[in-house]
Amino acid sequence: MSTIERRHTNARMSQIVIHGDTIYLAGQVGTPGASVAQQTQDCLDAIDRLLAEAGSDKSRILQAIVWLADMADFQDMNSVWDAWVPEGAAPARACGEARLAAPDYTVEIIVTAARS
């Protein structure tokens, strides 16, 4: 049976959970109050860092779930996302609108990836 490894864990959640060769990241958010583009870039930078720590990278992302506080920001988020995703390695992705944890957050991204 595979072990479960948890990193950056507090009473509520872990930032990284690894089970076998699958990596689950907690939802990543950006700098509160920053533009949608900046918050998206912040999320993607955090994802890059966490995946590297877990032994993977963005080319190994299996699925991404993007939550926007307002779907009117879809194009601004996608302009950053599209520049970041490796060509030929786009993950399965969903994007929806949701009320996020605080009013100053506009984007949250959740990722599942394979280990390299």
pLDDT at 1: 59
* % of the chain with per-residue pLDDT over 70: 99
The CA dihedral of 83, 88, 92, 94, to the nearest 10 degrees, is 30
Q: What is the pLDDT of residue 20?
A: 95
User: Which of 52, 34, 30, 37 is CA-nearest to residue 82?
Assistant: 37
68-83 confidence digits (pLDDT tens)? 999 999 999 999 999 9
CA 40 from centroid of its chain's CA atoms: 9
Confidence (pLDDT) at 29: 98
Q: What is the rounded distance in angstroms from the CA atom of residue 97 to the CA atom of residue 82?
A: 19
Of the given ranges (1-5, 9-13, 86-90), which has the lowest mean pLDDT? 1-5
Residue-wise pLDDT tens digits, 31-85: 999 999 999 999 999 999 999 999 999 999 999 999 999 999 999 999 999 999 9
* For range 4-30, the mean pLDDT: 97
Cα 90 to Cα 1, 83, 86, 93, 114, distances in angstroms:
30, 11, 7, 8, 13
Q: Region 6-24: what's the mean pLDDT?
A: 97
Those residues with Cβ within 8 angstroms of residue 52's Cβ, 6 or more apart along the chain or in another chain: none
Contacts of 100 (CB under 8 A, 6+ apart): 29, 67, 69, 106, 108
